């Protein structure tokens, strides 16, 4: 950086004096320059420190002019995309220009693009959900001809062997117990053990001893008693469907017995880990848990 300056040759005294004077002047001039620059810096620093609000608009204008808002990254990426053939050259050039010379418009355009993408994704989701409707009991004031569709969005993934798909059963079926729905087919905090667990069936409240009817005609597959399920039974139906009825106080049928739809198979109880008398009802198909809510009428 320091260039080598040769001192000028001393040819005559007049010249020497003249040159010396010039050198002194330039030294003095540099001093003045330094003082002015230093003064400007001190003034600006003081202004910024003492009154940051008043300097803010100037800083913004200066920054804007210098190109603080310009998105060079986006401009370069646009060019790169054109080279890769990912987008046409004219589009890329336009994008690059907008990113550098019209950054506020560029930001707005980008935001609009993001929103469009989000709305397209929402439309796709809507289409998927429409293909698999979850029909719950329509409210009584609903007039005929309208269909209520409600969607339940889960924040957690479903466990394995669980499906929310509604199926068509090849047989007539009925609600095993008329009563209030107290718990549904979803993730919940376990009422006794705490912690997030998936509830693999629905709970219908009932008075102890009320009759529980078979969901549909079939053959009693199993009758048993377990620590959590209490007294329970399982019935095999057509099409690989199996139903489970748990927390019963009394089982009225035996394994291997053929039952008809609605026939009394058990009585409501609170055996097993139940907090009150209710029927825990599950529907299985080939090892998959289905959501019983589609196939029963409860309130």
- Indicate the residue among 93 and 162 with the shorter CB distance to another protein: 93
Which residues touch 57 (CB under 8 Å, ≥6 apart)? none
Told to check if 159 binds another protein by CB under 8 A, we report no
Told to check if 72 binds another protein by CB under 8 A, we report yes
- Indicate the residue among 77 and 183 with the shorter CB distance to another protein: 77
- As measured in angstroms, the least distance from the Cβ of 115 to another protein is 21
- As measured in angstroms, the least distance from the Cβ of 102 to another protein is 6
8 A C-beta contact, residue 210 and residue 245? no
Told to check if 226 binds another protein by CB under 8 A, we report no
Per-residue x/- track, 95-134, another protein (CB under 8 A): -----xxxx-------------------------------
Paired tokens of 161: 């062997």
Which residues touch 173 (CB under 8 Å, ≥6 apart)? 215, 216, 261, 295
Judged by CB under 8 A, the residue of 69, 107, 167, 263 near another protein is 69
Told to check if 77 binds another protein by CB under 8 A, we report yes
- DSSP for 94-132 reads HHHHHHHH-HHHHHHHHHHHHHHHHHHHHHHHHHHHHHS
Range in contact with another protein (rule: CB under 8 A) among 78-86, 120-128, 169-177, 183-191? 78-86
User: Where is 285: in which H helix or E strand?
Assistant: strand 278-285
Told to check if 75 binds another protein by CB under 8 A, we report yes
Q: Which of 223, 219, 225, 216 is nearest to 247 (CA)?
A: 225
- As measured in angstroms, the least distance from the Cβ of 124 to another protein is 22
8 A C-beta contact, residue 241 and residue 200? no
Which residues touch 234 (CB under 8 Å, ≥6 apart)? 220, 221, 222, 223, 242, 243, 244, 245
Report 25-64 residues binding another protein (CB under 8 A).
63-64
Q: Which residues bind another protein (CB under 8 A)?
A: 1, 63-70, 72-73, 75-81, 83-86, 100-103
């Amino acid at each position: 950086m320091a260039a080598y300056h040769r001192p000028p040759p001393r040819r005559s005294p007049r010249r020497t004096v003249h040159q010396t004077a010039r050198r002194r002047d330039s030294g003095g001039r540099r001093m003045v320059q330094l003082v002015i620059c230093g003064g400007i810096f001190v003034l600006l620093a003081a202004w910024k420190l003492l009154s940051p609000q008043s300097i803010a608009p100037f800083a913004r204008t200066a920054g804007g002019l210098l190109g603080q808002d310009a998105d060079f990254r986006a401009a370069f990426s646009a060019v790169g995309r054109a080279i890769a053939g990912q987008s046409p050259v004219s589009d890329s050039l336009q994008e690059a220009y907008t990113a550098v010379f019209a950054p506020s418009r560029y930001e707005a355009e980008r935001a609009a693009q993001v929103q469009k993408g989000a709305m397209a994704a929402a439309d796709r989701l809507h289409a998927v959900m429409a293909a698999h409707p979850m029909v719950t009991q329509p409210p009584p004031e609903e007039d005929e001809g309208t269909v209520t569709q409600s969607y339940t969005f889960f924040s957690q993934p479903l466990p394995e062997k669980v499906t929310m798909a509604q199926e068509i059963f090849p047989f007539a079926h009925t609600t095993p117990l008329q009563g209030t729905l107290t718990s549904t087919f979803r993730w919940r905090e376990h009422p006794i053990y705490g912690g997030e667990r998936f509830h693999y069936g629905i709970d219908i409240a009932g008075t102890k001893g009320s009759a529980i009817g078979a969901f549909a005609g079939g053959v009693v597959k199993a009758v048993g008693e377990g620590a959590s399920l209490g007294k329970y039974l399982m019935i095999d139906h057509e099409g690989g469907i199996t139903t489970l009825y748990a927390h019963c106080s009394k089982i009225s049928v035996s394994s291997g017995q053929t039952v008809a739809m609605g026939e009394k198979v058990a009585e409501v109880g609170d055996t097993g880990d139940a907090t009150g008398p209710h029927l825990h009802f599950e529907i299985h198909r080939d090892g998959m848990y289905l959501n019983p809510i589609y196939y029963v009428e409860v309130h």
